[in-house]
Each structure stands twice: as structure tokens, then as C-alpha cells.
């Protein structure tokens, strides 16, 4: 009796199973029972999708998902302003965010307070795992490996980013913050 490794050397393909392993002889694939007169469509018979052959028309948006930014606005922390602020946007198309990008511009000697993200809400659903605050600069333009998988937002849902400043600015000093979420839209 020949061993399995001998069959590999001899190149006998009939002794390979469906996974390509040596051992059990190849078995015929069992065909599912079909009712007479019912034809199942196959992947090959569906043809090429219309989006692959339809030319793009100038001024008409392409179909399907598109990668686009959603600006959340800008807020300034100045003398006498609250230490809490909110950046908010309402997408005009269904949107699902994947990357939050934040920027901070500081001017003056007292503009040194720590900025933190206290909540990121899609509607009323907080997207943060815990109630702990996250440093605002953690999502800066140069940050890496900070991809998110946010809940989808329809056109009637507000996306809100709540931020807090640890210490107030004085005089003419200011801290200006801005944020955007990059993601996919449909339409």
C-alpha cells in the first residue's frame, strides 16, 4: 500500500480531496435538488452592473457610496466664555463616519488649557465606550491609527461633539477649535 506522500510524488490528482489535501479520494460534489421548471440565476448570468458601463454625467452625482467630509464647525474660547462647547452638524445625505479630525489654534500666554472630548453623539447615542474624556489633540491631523466605526446618521440626525476646556483664558488670549468627520455618504 502506498503512503499519502508517495501519491504526491507520483502526481496522482485523483487522490486529493476538495481542499487540496492528500488523503481521501476526490468526491463528486453533491448537486442540490431542483424543482422542475424553476431556474436559479447564477452570478455569471447577471451581467455587468449598470454603474460600470454608464458614463458619468457632468453635474450629476455618481451613485453609490462616496468618501466625503462633514464639517462640525468652529468654536472660540475667549475671556468670559464657558469652559464647555459643542460642535454640531446635520448631514444632508445618509452619512457614516470613519475618521474624526480636530484642529486647535492657540494665541496668548494663558491659552494653555487641556481640551478634551466628553461626548460624540450620533442623535442621542454616545459613540464613546466610556464616560471618560479623550484628549482633543488625539484626533489631530497628524494622528495615526485613530479610525472609528461610527453609527450611521440619516438626514434628520444631529452629529454632536462636546468638548471641554480645563482652564479659562484671560485678556485677549483665545483658543479656537474646529473638527470634521470623514466618512461615506450615499447618493
Q: What is the DSSP letter of 74?
A: E
| CB-based contact 98:149 (threshold 8 Å) | yes
Beta-carbon contacts of residue 34 (< 8 Å; ≥ 6 apart): 40
What pLDDT, on the 0 to 100 scale, is given for residue 66?
Answer: 85
What fold does the segment set 65-186 form as a domain?
Jelly Rolls (2.60.120)
What pLDDT, on the 0 to 100 scale, is given for residue 65?
Answer: 77
| CB-based contact 68:140 (threshold 8 Å) | no
pLDDT tens for the 187 residues of the chain, in order: 444 444 444 444 454 444 455 554 555 555 555 666 555 555 554 555 555 555 566 666 556 678 899 999 999 999 999 999 999 999 999 999 999 999 999 999 999 999 999 999 999 999 999 989 999 999 999 999 999 999 999 988 999 999 999 999 999 999 999 999 999 987 6
What are the C-alpha distances in Å from 60 to residues 1, 55, 56, 155, 186? Answer: 70, 11, 8, 20, 14
What are the C-alpha distances in Å from 69 to residues 24, 47, 83, 121, 151? Answer: 55, 34, 27, 17, 16
Domain ranges of the chain: 1-30, 65-186
d(CA 51, CA 65): 12
Q: Which grid cell is 17?
A: 480531496
Q: What is the pTM for the complete model shown?
A: 0.66
Amino acid at each position: 500500500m502506498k503512503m499519502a506522500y508517495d501519491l504526491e510524488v507520483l502526481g496522482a490528482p485523483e487522490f486529493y480531496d476538495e481542499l487540496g489535501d492528500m488523503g481521501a479520494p476526490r468526491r463528486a460534489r453533491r448537486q442540490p435538488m431542483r424543482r422542475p421548471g424553476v431556474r436559479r440565476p447564477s452570478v455569471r448570468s447577471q451581467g455587468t452592473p449598470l454603474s460600470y458601463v454608464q458614463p458619468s454625467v457632468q453635474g450629476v452625482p455618481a451613485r453609490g457610496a462616496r468618501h466625503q467630509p462633514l464639517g462640525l464647525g468652529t468654536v472660540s474660547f475667549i475671556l468670559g466664555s464657558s469652559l464647555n462647547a459643542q460642535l454640531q452638524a446635520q448631514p444632508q445625505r445618509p452619512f457614516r463616519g470613519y475618521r474624526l479630525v480636530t484642529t486647535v489654534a492657540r494665541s496668548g500666554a494663558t491659552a494653555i488649557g487641556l481640551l478634551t472630548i466628553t461626548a460624540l453623539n450620533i442623535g442621542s447615542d454616545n459613540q464613546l465606550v466610556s464616560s471618560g474624556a479623550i484628549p482633543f489633540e488625539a484626533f489631530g491631523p497628524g494622528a495615526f491609527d485613530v479610525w472609528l466605526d461610527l453609527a450611521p446618521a440619516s438626514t434628520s440626525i444631529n452629529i454632536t461633539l462636546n468638548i471641554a476646556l480645563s482652564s479659562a483664558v484671560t485678556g485677549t488670549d483665545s483658543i479656537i477649535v474646529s473638527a470634521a468627520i470623514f466618512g461615506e455618504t450615499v447618493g
